[in-house]
Amino acid sequence: MKRKRISLFDVLTHMLGAVLLAMVLYPLILIVSCSVSDPQLVATGQVLLFPKGITFDGYRQILKNKDILIGYGNTIFYTVVGTLINLAVTVPAGYALTKRTLPGGKIFMAFFMFIMYFSGGLIPSFLVVKGLGLYNTRWVLLILGAYNTYNCIICRTFFDAMPKELEEAAVIDGCSVTGTFFQVVLPLSKALMGVMVLYFAVGHWNAYFDALIYIKDDGMQPLQVFLRRILILAQQQANMEEAAEYAQSLANLEALIRYAVIVVSSLPLLIVYPFLQKYFDQGVMIGSVKG
């Protein structure tokens, strides 16, 4: 065995790693600290790392805020149902495209690839959605993006790498293609499904622009739209006023809610992704880049 020696190189790289770590962690810790600190101390810039004057009023305030609760409920609904629709549309398409003997397979591939480079754009898409009577309905946020070429190619690459013998054996045993897909292929694709669920769910959870364009009623808005109002629009207005007046207006619970709402809205994804990390680290993306 080699003697354990710490080289200068190791020290340097680990220091750089620590710097990166601190750069990412500091803002996140600060937000959490501010969310449980006395708003007066936060507003006067005294909370710089650790919480001071601990209070959970911000979180209590959230529970009383109707908008946030409605938004949260809507977002959960859009994320769960939307992701299921995404999976149902995109994953089977990726599987079908692995079939090299499929007549017209190349045409389908071109049909799907073309939209990665060219689109009708914002207004024509808006007119189509409106024409279908989907404007200002929950369906818009569930259906838009149901199919995604990028993710479809990830699926295809993954299914392509699976041993063909398994499917062949199932077919010989009298299993239909659909049966093979659901009973043989999918149970072996947990890694893929994990990554797909994560990608699609993150997309739904964090999206705001489609809602801004297509949803008019507040009762149907997702959380991100309310977040935009609380975090950005309100602050912009506040910044326009005199600084002193502004500091005072923020030195109340309304200000505290900003930090708490950031924590509450971001936490679900931040808790889930480390569990799926081993899957997206495995290089599921390699194949996708080459098309």
Partner 1 sequence: MKKKEKRAGRQAFGLKLSTRIWRHREYYLFLLPAVVYVAIFCYAPMYGLQIAFKDYKVSLGVSGSPWVGMRNFTDFFRGYYFRNLIRNTLVLSLYSLIVGFPVPIFVALILNELKPKFKKVTQTVLYAPHFISTVVIIGMITIFFSPSMGVVNTLLNGLGMDSIYFMGNPKYFRHLYVWSGVWQGMGWGAIIYLAALAGVDPGLHEAAAIDGASRMKRIFHINIPCIMPTIIIMLILQVGRIASVGYEKVYLMQNELNMEVAEVISTYVYKRGLINNNYSFSTAVGLFNNVVNVILVLIANQISKKCSDTSLF
Nearest CB to partner 1, comparing residues 56 and 111? 111
Using CB under 8 A, which of 128, 161, 166, 188 touches partner 1? 128
Binding mask 23-62 for partner 1 (x = CB under 8 A): xxx-xx-xx----------xxxx--x--------------
Using CB under 8 A, which of 83, 181, 184, 260 touches partner 1? 181
Say how far apart CA 246 and CA 248 lie, in whole Å: 5
| Interface region with partner 1, contact rule CB under 8 A, candidates 58-66, 76-84, 186-194, 260-268 | 260-268
Using CB under 8 A, which of 13, 53, 54, 182 touches partner 1? 13
1 counts as binding partner 1 under rule CB under 8 A: no
- Count the residues of the shown chain that bind partner 1, applying the rule CB under 8 A: 101
Please answer whether residues 91 and 155 qualify as being in contact, where contact means their C-beta atoms are separated by less than 8 angstroms: yes
| Interface region with partner 1, contact rule CB under 8 A, candidates 51-59, 60-68, 183-191, 206-214 | 206-214
Distance of closest approach, residue 182 Cβ to partner 1, in angstroms:
11
Distance of closest approach, residue 84 Cβ to partner 1, in angstroms:
12
Which of 148, 88, 162 lies closest to 115 in space, CA to CA?
Answer: 148
- Which two tokens mark 236? 């912009």
78 counts as binding partner 1 under rule CB under 8 A: no
| 278 CB-near residues (< 8 Å, 6+ apart) | none
Distance of closest approach, residue 256 Cβ to partner 1, in angstroms:
12
Using CB under 8 A, which of 154, 158, 258, 260 touches partner 1? 258
Dihedral angle at the C-alpha atoms of 195, 85, 200, 97, nearest 10 degrees?
60
175 counts as binding partner 1 under rule CB under 8 A: no
